[in-house]
Amino acid sequence: MPFVHVQTYSGRTPEQKIACAKAIVEAVHKHLGLPPDVVQVLFSDVEKADWFNGDRLGVVAPKAAPAPAPAAAPAAAPRAAPVPAGVKK
């Protein structure tokens, strides 16, 4: 029946894999209406040195450029001191 193969970089804990497998089995059961006991999930750990994207080693997707820092708000113009009564401007 359904077979889901999850390939990731090495380093996931058994607890993470169990939680992920349970979520996958539940999703297949919920959306395809198949009994959970027929869903198979296989995890394959891959070292970054073994994963290529084009000619780039250890990369599965290009990294997005960091977002530019927000521009600082312009400083408010200083206020003029009030002119005392009776003094001409």
- Read off the pTM: 0.60
| Residues annotated catalytic, as ranges | 2
What's the pLDDT score for residue 57? 76
Question: How much is the pLDDT for 44?
Answer: 97
| Burial class of residue 21 (count of CB atoms within 10 Å of its CB; 0-12, 13-18, 19+) | middle
Q: Where are the domains of the chain?
A: 3-49
State the DSSP H helix or E strand holding residue 32, giving kind and residue range, or none if neither: helix 14-32
pLDDT digits (tens, 9 = 90+) for 19-66: 999 999 999 999 999 999 999 999 999 988 888 877 777 765 556 667
CATH number of 3-49: 3.30.429.10
